[in-house]
A and B are shown apart, each in its own frame.
Chain A
């Protein structure tokens, strides 16, 4: 069976398995963990679209995550809009910020490390802005009032949040699959592999990269919106801090960069490892993240295609 067809079958199978997961996880702590895992998987999926398929490594995806989170929070708290409108507005805002940041960076030909640094700087600018302007609540952060109702994107039980997040993750997964199978996707990968050759084949490199960063920004904003609704609290460091940017890139690289399921697998492995570290150290902070850093270096050293690549290699050996 060709790989295209396998993926078409695998996507609904994986989504169905995720939908059935609460049966095994119960309704307590583990379901909450699964929910945040999917949230980070969605963020990772967004990063992967630009970094994995497009080869443009962003070190500032917090920019989009934070924008999605703040837009929905501010619209609710300051203007009294409902969070579903906030979801749409936040996603559009994430895409718009992506387009803005991309238009500047790619117009002036920033690549590789320079692009990485400029995205990092954009996220920092927004972090400082969010600390300084009054309507975000500044450094003290912003609280979304508790009003439990599905119409208010607040659910009475954890399962409600889990399924809401699963739908958002499904959107990111299906968008990625659609990109993989489209002309845009073929062009994006071509740009990653060789820009000169891509241009000679009629590809407008600027437009392709701009499309990728816009889409990636919008998807990352989705997970940011969910964060705001799930935790009902935001501050500039949570939303725009470098921690989010690092999470966004670790999962796809560990899981398998430029692959459909890499971000999900990476997010699951990282959360599981983090959980082990938590139990081990009795919840003391630091060790879990240190392990992620170690895992990143091990993957770079030994598994250039991440865990997905390792699975593929083992599969071929046994075949």
Chain B
């Protein structure tokens, strides 16, 4: 295999991986704090993609400029989904939370299908086909932006959780919910905030994705299992883990595509997923298995 084939595949894998990481960041935050696996994560990304799409086609707003609109809107949406729906339906049972978020994802996916049909939609932006020449490979500009943004958002989340008062409260809730409650922390509010932040990262991901990607009602499915794999691989709740996990998966998929062909390429991701779940459920960067 020649370098002329390998290097672009590598670069392609890394930029795809950055997008996986971007989507997984919110999921890992929600898992790390609320200890819930949010099945609706992919569907919320799909809704965000439609939102950004309609802002562009309806109002002519550039996807990157839609960030300050989409991110707060999705923060509020996430907060109210947690406080208004999930909190009341879970009855404190893990299985219920999983089912509620599954129910949400079914509703969102199918309402999207009902209203917008299954057409694949893309937008035209002037920089859509611009590339950066790094000598050994060409990187599309939107993908380079997404790559940088994934690193930036991971750093931002890490700062928010690690270095602020809100982050301290969030960590307290994540570690010891009852104790945090006794300290006067409003646990339900923190849960809502985390779900909101996790959902807001999806809005950011949508703004960064759409210039080089498409949207259909099923687009969430393409991401949700990969995002789960990313989170599990990186260690649930770890931002660095999500970042590294995403990049690894991007590379695996790219290498898988190169070796096994396009349709079998993704299988590597799921096999990694199963193996990690079976043998190292705390992930590569997680602590010792309990």
Contacts and interface: CB of A to CB of B under 8 A. Distances in A.
B266 interface: yes
B88 A301 contact: yes
Interface in B92-124: 94-96, 98-100, 102-107, 109-115, 118
Interface in A269-319: 281, 284-290, 292-294, 296-297, 300-301, 304
Contacts of A287: 110-111, 114
B263 A128 contact: yes
B217 A296 contact: no
A75 interface: no
A134 B244 CA distance: 35
B221 interface: yes
Interface string B271-290: 10110011101000000000
B104 A121 contact: no
B178 interface: no
5 contacts: A110-B281, A114-B277, A114-B281, A122-B274, A293-B106
Given A132-B261, A139-B263, A301-B88, A286 B114 contact: yes
A85 interface: no
Interface string B138-155: 000000000000000000
Nearest to A56: B95
B69 interface: no
B264 interface: yes
Contacts of B88: 301
Nearest to B91: A304
A246 B102 contact: yes
B89 interface: yes
Interface string A59-76: 100000000000000000
Contact of B103 (A120, A132, A296): A296
A300 B277 contact: no
B56 to A, nearest CB: 23
From DSSP, what is the main secondary structure of chain A's interface residues?
helix
B223 interface: no
B213 interface: no
Contact of A284 (B85, B114, B229): B114
Contacts of A114: 277, 281
Interface of B: 37, 85, 88-89, 91, 94-96, 98-100, 102-107, 109-115, 118, 217, 221, 225, 228-229, 232, 260-261, 263-264, 266-267, 270-271, 273-274, 277-279, 281
Interface string A163-204: 000000000000000000000000000000000000000000
B98 A125 contact: no
A104 B113 CA distance: 36
A105 B271 CA distance: 13
Contacts of A131: 263
B40 to A, nearest CB: 10
A257 B228 CA distance: 27
B85 A117 contact: no
Contact of A300 (B37, B100, B232): B100
Interface in A110-127: 110, 112-114, 116-118, 120-122, 124-125
Nearest to A300: B89
Contacts of A297: 85, 89, 100, 103-104, 107
A116 B111 CA distance: 25
Contacts of A281: 114
Contacts of A110: 277-278, 281
A101 to B, nearest CB: 9
Q: Which of A114, A249, A284, A296 has the most CB of B within 10 A?
A: A296
Contacts of B229: 121
Contacts of A249: 99
Contacts of A289: 106, 109-110, 113
B206 to A, nearest CB: 21
Given A113-B95, A128-B264, 11 more contacts: A59-B102, A110-B277, A110-B281, A116-B37, A118-B273, A125-B267, A129-B264, A132-B261, A286-B110, A297-B89, A297-B100
